[in-house]
């Protein structure tokens, strides 16, 4: 059961990170940014969501143990 929860949570976080990256890239393109600049902003958004998820996980692990 625990492995299933971890895998489902990881998948959900990846989907949310991808959606944030796509949204950031689309908004950058709508604002007139070039494709490389939009891709850079999308990658930054993806990395930020993954980093935030890791920080929340570490904080929860500290609190729960």
Checking if the pLDDT of 34 tops 80, the result is yes
Please enumerate in sequence order all residues whose Cβ is within 8 A of that of 41, keeping only pairs 6 or more positions apart, or say none. Answer: 24, 25, 28, 33
Higher local confidence (pLDDT), 64 or 43: 43
Q: Which of 40, 36, 37 is closest to 21 using CA atoms? A: 40
Task: Please report the pLDDT score of residue 15 as a whole number.
Answer: 97
Task: Please report the pLDDT score of residue 13 as a whole number.
Answer: 96
Higher local confidence (pLDDT), 57 or 65: 57
Beta strands in 1-54 (DSSP E): none
Predicted confidence (pLDDT) per residue in 13-28, tens digit: 999 999 999 999 999 9
């Amino acid at each position: 059961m625990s492995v299933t929860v971890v895998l489902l949570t990881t998948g959900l976080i990846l989907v949310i990170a991808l959606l944030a990256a796509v949204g950031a890239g689309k908004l950058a393109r709508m604002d007139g940014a070039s494709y490389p600049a939009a891709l850079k902003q999308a990658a930054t958004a993806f990395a930020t969501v993954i980093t935030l998820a890791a920080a929340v996980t570490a904080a929860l692990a500290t609190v729960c143990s």
